[in-house]
Amino acid sequence: MKVTLLAGGTGGAKLAHGFQQVLAHGELTVIVNVADDTELHGLRVSPDVDTVLYTLAGLANAETGWGVSGDTWTALHMLGRYGEPTWFRVGDADLATHVRREHLLAGGASLTDATQSMAEALGVPSHILPATDDPVRTILHTDAGELEFQDYFVRLRQEPEVHSVRFDGIDGARPTDEVRIALDSAELIVIAPSNPIVSVEPILALPGMRQAIRSAGQRGTRRLAISPIIAGAALKGPADRMLASLGHESSALGVARMYAGLIDAFVIDEADAELAPSVEQLGMEAVVLRTVMRRDADRAALALALLPA
C-alpha cells in the first residue's frame, strides 16, 4: 500500500511515524510544508522537514515535539555571547543538520536532494519530500504588524492575533516532479492533522496541487483528512485561535468545510462524534476514530485504521 501524506508540524510527524510503523519499507512518502522555512545564522532552516526527519529517524525530542532528543546548547550559548539572536533555539545536533543542508544547497543540490541525502544518512526508510524546491514564505498580518512565520510562532509565542495570511512566492512556485509522482502513484492520500491554514494550505496552494489530488480521486485513489481540532481546541499550537480570528469555525466541522470537494472522507475524534452527520452533509464520509497520538502505539493504531481493509 503506497501512502502519500501531506504534513507539517508535530501532528503530521506523529502520523507519519504511525504509517512508517505499519507499512513496508519505502511505501510511505511524506510531502512536507516548507513555507515556514527561514534563514538563521546564515543557514537554511526547514522546521517542518526537520521535525518529520527526526521523528522518522527515531531522534525527535518527545517532550518538546521539535529538535533532537538529548541535544545540548553549547553553540547557541556561544552565539549569544557574540550578540547573535537566540530566541530560535537551535541545539548542537540540530545545528549540524542545518550546516549539512546549507553545504549541500551551496554545492548545487535542490532542497529535495538535500533532504533525501540526510534522510538516507539517518536511516529513514520512508521518502520525505519538500512540497516545493522554490522559495515560499508564510507572512502573517497580526496585531503586532506583519510577521514572518517564525517571528510569530517562536519569538512572539503565537500571542498576536492573526488577521490574514499570505504565502509570498506561491504563484511562481511549483510542486517538484517527485511530489507529482508521489500523488500520481499513491494508493491512499492523507492530509495529516496539521494546522490547515499555515501547514497544509501552503502545500495545497501550490499551482496544480489541488487538481493533482482531485485527479487521483478520479482514478480511484482514496483521499482522507484528519481533523487537528478536537472538541473545539487544538492539542498543540495556534490552529484553533487562528481559525477563529480568520473567520472559520474553530471545530472539526470548520476544518472539514475547508477540505470539502477535495477529499472522500474526513476523520474526526470520538469526542466529536456528534459532528459526523454535519460532516457528511458536506459530501464526504465521516469517520470517527480515536485520533489523539500520545504514544507510538497510538500513532500506529491510527495509521492502521486509516488503511483500506
pLDDT at position 64 is: 87
- When pLDDT is cut at 50, 70 and 90, the band that residue 288 belongs to is very high
Is residue 80's pLDDT more than 80?
yes
Contact predicate 256/284, CB 8 Å = yes
Say what the pTM is: 0.97
Residue the block writes with cell 501550490: 206
The fraction of the chain above a pLDDT of 70, given in percent, is: 100
Helix, strand, coil shares, percent, the chain, to 5: 45, 20, 35
- When pLDDT is cut at 50, 70 and 90, the band that residue 150 belongs to is very high
pLDDT at position 66 is: 87
Report how far Cα 209 is from the mean position of its chain's Cα atoms: 15
Walk me through the domains of the chain, giving residue ranges and CATH numbers. 3-140+169-306 (3.40.50.10680)
pLDDT tens for 166-200 read 999 999 999 999 999 999 999 999 999 999 999 99
pLDDT at position 9 is: 86
The residues near 76 (Cβ < 8 Å, ≥ 6 apart) are 86, 89, 90, 91, 92, 95
Average pLDDT value for the chain: 97
Is residue 309's pLDDT more than 80?
no
